[in-house]
Amino acid sequence: MATNVEATPEATALLPRRPLRADARQNYDKLIAAAREVFAEEGTAASLEEIARRAQVGIATLYRRFPTRQDLLEATYLEEVEAISSSAADFDGLAPWDALVGWLRRYVAFAATKRVLAEELLAYVDRDSEMFKTCSGAITAAGEPLLRRAQDAGVVRPDTSFSDVVRMVSGIAAIRATEPEQIERILDVALDGLRYQPS
């Protein structure tokens, strides 16, 4: 995950934060990492003490940094968005098709936890709040170039927008499948649809 230095060059400023003491910053990162794991495993109703335990941090440390469950949820969500956005750069070296698909596959894993976090956040935050707008903007800025590159190279049909693709993948990621391989199969088919050239 993105380390928590306050002046990262490519920082999208999703998480504006004052400088923390070194130990505090480490604990912050450990808490977010643990929260992402536990929320993914047990849903948003997961025990905060379990998160603190897994982060090997006292429960009070968790509450000091995140006074509310919402605060922890929101920070985890923003870290996820930041991670999926900045991960687009990891695929720069690959061929256009492989780069796009590689990122989208990563997006599936991201979308699964993102959806449940977002659902919970929406109970307290407005859907078209500054936060959600910034997030969707960051994701578009990260992924749209991958799509355009693939389209310019002729390996993806030109009549699809980034929004189309992301929503298609999000929809597939949200399928309640009994076996996880099913998601894989469906995703494969759908991605093949992107290569199809309409006559």
Partner DNA sequence: TACTATACGGAGGATCCCTCCGTTTGTCAA
Partner DNA sequence: TTGACAAACGGAGGGATCCTCCGTATAGTA
Interface residues with DNA (CB under 7 A) are 20-24, 27, 46-50, 56-61, 63-65, 67, 69
Residues present in the chain in total: 199
**Subset of 9-48 contacting a second copy (CB under 8 A):** 43, 45
DSSP 124: T
CB 116 within 8 A of CB 124: no
- Map tokens 């980034």 to a residue: 162
Q: Is the dihedral of CA 90, 96, 100, 105 positive or negative?
A: negative
CB 191 within 8 A of CB 173: no
Residue 130 sits in the site that holds a second copy (CB under 8 A)? no
Stretch near a second copy under the rule CB under 8 A, chosen from 84-92, 115-123, 131-139, 155-163: 115-123
Closest C-alpha among 12, 17, 15, 77 to residue 44: 77
DSSP 133: H
In the complex with DNA, which residue's Cβ is closer, 59 or 175? 59
- Residue 7, contacted partner among DNA, a second copy, none, CB below 5-8 A by kind: none
Give the 3-state secondary structure of residue 25. helix
- Residue 157, contacted partner among a second copy, DNA, none, CB below 5-8 A by kind: none
Q: How far is the CB of 27 from DNA (least distance, A)?
A: 3
Whole-Å CA distances, 58 to 49, 65, 108, 148 = 9, 11, 33, 47
- Letters for 172-191 (x = contact with a second copy by CB under 8 A, - = none) are ----x-x-------------
In the complex with a second copy, which residue's Cβ is closer, 45 or 60? 45
DSSP 17: -
In the complex with a second copy, which residue's Cβ is closer, 42 or 98? 42
Residue 126 sits in the site that holds a second copy (CB under 8 A)? yes
Neighbours of 105 (CB within 10 A): 15
In the complex with DNA, which residue's Cβ is closer, 65 or 148? 65
Q: How far is the CB of 71 from DNA (least distance, A)?
A: 10
Contacts with a second copy by CB under 8 A lie at 43, 45, 119, 122-123, 126-127, 176, 178
